[in-house]
Structure 1
Amino acid sequence: MRVVADWARQESWGVRLEWGLAGARALGPGSACVVVVDVLSFTTSVSVAVERGTRVLPYPWRDGGAAEFAAQRGAVVAVGRRSVSEQQPWSLSPAGLRRAPAAERLVLPSPNGSAISAAVDGVPVIAGCLRNATAVAGWIVRQGWGTVRQPVSVVAAGEHWPGEDLLRPAIEDWVGAGAIVAALARSGAGPLSPEAAAAMAGSVGITDIPTLIADCASGRELADSGFAGDVAVATELDVSAVVPVLTNGAFDDAR
């Protein structure tokens, strides 16, 4: 088991922030909860699905056993955006999930937000995004979390460089994480770690978040692939009241 140095744990703060799977593993132990932020598109898709009554089971994208995993749990499995069909209309596309029939249980693989969610052990995991930032923060504070004794760790999922197992810090996740930190601060959580404070400053200082995210690398990637609708759904700001919490292996609304 890898030992995380004290300086990396942000232990003096009630709201902490890190990047990716390694960041979640560093901050998760000792946290009251971990908020995973993968705006394009895992946690946005979770918010859309949970709004429709679907329980979402995270599963790492690179593991080819997703179909078997789903069958064992009485769930349907999401496929790649370009592989949807009448028989399998579910994918990581939040816009597509709105059009698809609402499944009772959905396995939703992704290499970033889903993999991080599945890897965090021993503490509640919450799916946060721009659509539900205020709802997530309010629920967390009502649990008594977001203090030095009961810290909240916000994890910006980031992306991977194509063909590389290397983290690409993604501006949409930085902005989404900052929005959740800002909502936590407004609700009385804190103090904020420097990392969390920097993300909050970056988020609240942006006057047009939808345009920024549509124009960023990840937004352009989706638009160039024909999925600009996913970016539009992901930049619906604070429209959702759902608080998806990972319980018994599936995200469900905690309210």
Structure 2
Amino acid sequence: MIDTSRWRGWGRDVVLAVTEPGALGQAEEIVRSTIDVSEAACDLRRGDAELHAVNLGQGVPVRVSPRLSTLLRSALRAARMTDGAVTPVDNRLDAESVPPVHPVPSYLDVRIEGDTVHAPWGAGLDIEETARADTAGYGAALAAEGLECGVLVRIGDTAATAGTRPDGGWQVALPGRNDIELPAGTAVASRRAGDRADDRWHVVTVVAPDAVWADAAAQTALHCEVGAIAWLEQYALAGRLVDRRGQVHTTAAWPDSRAA
């Protein structure tokens, strides 16, 4: 039996599901605390967000909390795996305004040694999207390990699972269609396009081994235009892409293309 809880957190709808109803209360405490800590670390809309200190450092090493260090590492991993298509670096200065002694920074210039972050001059880090995905996975893992049950955590359009698989599997709703069965220990993320009529894809959904990779892959594929399916296929990712006409395209690894 699956028991669920829903609330609004970090600007998104949060869904928590557990395979042991008696564990729901404790699981919610764990997940709420995890979200609160992550939000305090990197939500730049908050004046007290820890990430502000890193952005104000401008080339000076800054010591951060273990949680922010982990979130930054996840953001850099997403950047490496997508070759910079998903990047934590929001350049404050364009190439023409940067003096020659200060090259335009990229994610490749950000270094983390232990809990000390070295961000280059001219760069502002914004990791909120990947941080939400990381938090979904981290919260699910913490609750599953601590309570010895299966857990699903969904923040916005990214869901992560950990622990035991419930009878019937984890059923996760996708944008504009029925549920998909998510294997235990995996994650799914959906990315939606804006209102630009010339965007090829309306929504992209990706299933991956972890939430950060699922979210980063979905975001990258959304902007890959005609190369999106090939890009997902090279990583053997399960992907479902809906174009502007409503036609559905899937990769070979999608669990049931006939029901897509």
- Relative to the length of structure 1, the TM-score reads 0.30
User: Greater Rg, structure 1 or structure 2?
Assistant: 2
Relative contact order higher in (CA < 8 Å, ≥ 6 apart):
1
- Relative to the length of structure 2, the TM-score reads 0.30
